[in-house]
Chains A and B, each alone.
Chain A
């Protein structure tokens, strides 16, 4: 029994590597896991799909490749909805100087897939504006809350039609933004606590707030969802899988007389699945089996440790 209390550390590490790696090499059909959707993710998806076409969203992307498994899937989910609904967005970062480039790489990768599937790629100036990194994100949001027309003074971006740099406020993305209520939504894709700052500065200013956060940050962000300070929340890899499930199967959408796979009791309408040209919806699902394996191993390790402790105590008691 003493052995159970002192399992070899390297054997556990090797087991983890094997357990996490195997699902990555299996065909997608073997690793597709049916997943229920939580109300917080449902609300995020419903709110995003309800934004009128052509409206502008502010996207603060605060993650780097360390959390790619979760955050890249969340950004991709947003970008697909943006393409479908022809939403404009302002992209910037406030937590890490590397974050703007990482987000741009995701857009480039997704654009290649869009073009392959016959969709129009997301174009800088017409569809989005990348305004870069803001080291003092509190001051940034304070200014947005005060006057969004004066947040990017002197900032220019390349206009592919005029073939020259122009003021970002002349772009289709920002030209109609006069006050905070003109911003359709603020979405924070984050691996840190930046959603706190957005809630502090932007609550009650007329723009809807939403979060797409890592699993570690989800419990904290959930507090804001429960108090309705944010309209929706996607948390961790599970959140990505839920978003993709809704993209693939719709919301309250029944096919062939079957029960809808995603039932949202709080929503009266029906959202159809995204067109096939937006597939695959497997950015999160590709890693979900690995997450299952890791969690299962974690639970087994905890159980083994406690069984060992229990047996040792029993033996000692005798």
Chain B
């Protein structure tokens, strides 16, 4: 088992990507996965929690060991570990790529779960002709077109790598470019640009001098906004230079816009962000421990 996870030798189920055997393996894994899921669903209720708790604990325990267990430094592959501690340390380090691959696969499955959820929601709405079913139809058609064209393009590029560069593009590559870059990305950018309008109106409505705190906030925001404008900063520097005669040691240099901005960033903004990050870090640690030890019971027990 240790060698298998550490992949010191290729495991027996290792096959070439894209081969017939690989597809067979995928099919077997899927069936096995569904069988395990079904087994869990039919498992007695009292047994489900211990299984979930054990799996969660083991998964987290690996990373705790990775962090805490002493690791051999610069041990060459040909060298044998001196003792059991070093051997375990070496195994933990060697197993990381394997564990990481499992982790990548699990995270990728979450994307698949999202796709499944979208499909289920919108196909139900379409079948039952619920409110706005037409939008669901557009969504599903767009989704299948993008998947179909994307997959066809992927297969063609695999078969003929010259199609990867624009000089070798065929109809499918143009179609993918039109759908992805011409439509999806442009609409994505258009949606994002709406934020500018909200920011403008929100700033107009919210940045009002109502108290000492809001005055300080407004003043600081104005300085930072002015400093983002290269022209204003450049003019401010030139104005200060003309007053100081270009003397870098002159006291007035402290009032150049860039200096004031740097002071705010280093002494106000930076420490504020660090304090927040510290708090979030402590919170994450506490939440991580609770999840690892299955002390979180909000999901129902």
Q: CB within 8 Å of B: which residues of A?
A: 7, 9, 12-13, 16, 20, 33-36, 38, 64-68, 97-98, 101-102, 105, 108, 111-112, 124, 134-136, 139-140, 142-143, 146-147, 150-151, 153-154, 156, 158, 160, 215, 219-220, 222-223, 226, 236, 238, 241, 288, 291-292, 294-299, 301-302, 304-306, 309-310
Contacts and interface: CB of A to CB of B under 8 A. Distances in A.
Interface string B85-102: 000000001001101110
Contact of A302 (B100, B165, B181, B218): B218
B230 A36 contact: yes
Nearest to B108: A135
9 contacts: A36-B233, A64-B185, A65-B188, A66-B189, A101-B180, A151-B97, A220-B277, A241-B230, A310-B209
Nearest to A238: B228
Nearest to B237: A36
A66 B186 CA distance: 8
Contacts of B237: 36
B270 A226 contact: yes
B7 A309 contact: no
Top 4 nearest A-B pairs (CB, nearest first) are A35-B230, A135-B107, A66-B192, A65-B185
B266 interface: yes
A173 to B, nearest CB: 16
Sort chain B's interface into a size bin: 35 or more
B282 to A, nearest CB: 15
Contacts of A304: 204
Given A16-B196, A226-B270, A7 B166 contact: no
Interface of B: 7, 17, 66, 93, 96-97, 99-101, 103-104, 106-108, 110-111, 161, 164-166, 180-181, 184-186, 188-189, 191-192, 196-197, 199-201, 203-205, 207-210, 218, 221-222, 225-226, 228-231, 233-234, 237, 258, 265-266, 269-270, 273-274, 277
B201 A12 contact: yes
Nearest to B227: A238
A309 B100 contact: no
Given A13-B197, A64-B188, A105-B181, A135 B258 contact: no
Contacts of A238: 228, 230
B273 A219 contact: yes
Contacts of B108: 135
B96 A146 contact: yes
A200 B105 CA distance: 22
A139 B273 contact: no
A146 B66 CA distance: 10
A292 B204 contact: no
Interface centre among B191, B201, B218, by most A CB within 10 Å? B201
Given A140-B104, A226-B266, A36 B228 contact: no
Contacts of B273: 219-220, 223
Contacts of B104: 134-136, 139-140
Contacts of B277: 220, 223
B234 A35 contact: yes
Given A223-B277, A301-B201, A305-B205, 9 more contacts: A66-B191, A139-B100, A146-B97, A151-B100, A160-B161, A223-B270, A236-B228, A292-B230, A301-B200
Contact of A66 (B97, B181, B188, B269): B188
Chain B binding site: helix, strand, loop or mixed by DSSP?
helix
A292 to B, nearest CB: 5
Given A12-B204, A219-B265, A136 B107 contact: yes
B204 A65 contact: no
Contacts of A142: 66, 96, 100
A135 B113 CA distance: 13
A142 B97 CA distance: 9
Nearest to B15: A154
A139 B99 contact: yes
Nearest to A15: B200
Contacts of A64: 185, 188
A298 B200 contact: yes
B84 to A, nearest CB: 21
Nearest to B109: A135
Contacts of A33: 230-231, 234
A91 to B, nearest CB: 14
Nearest to B226: A299
A135 B197 CA distance: 32
A151 B258 CA distance: 42
B217 to A, nearest CB: 11
- Tell me which of A223, A291, A309 has the highest count of chain B C-beta atoms within 10 A of its own C-beta: A223
Contacts of A298: 199-200, 203, 225
A38 B269 contact: no
A270 to B, nearest CB: 19
A276 to B, nearest CB: 24
Contacts of A151: 97, 100
Contact of B209 (A134, A295, A309): A309
Contacts of A102: 185
A156 B196 CA distance: 42
Contacts of B17: 154, 156
Give the interface centre of B204, B266, B273 by most chain A CB atoms within 10 Å.
B204
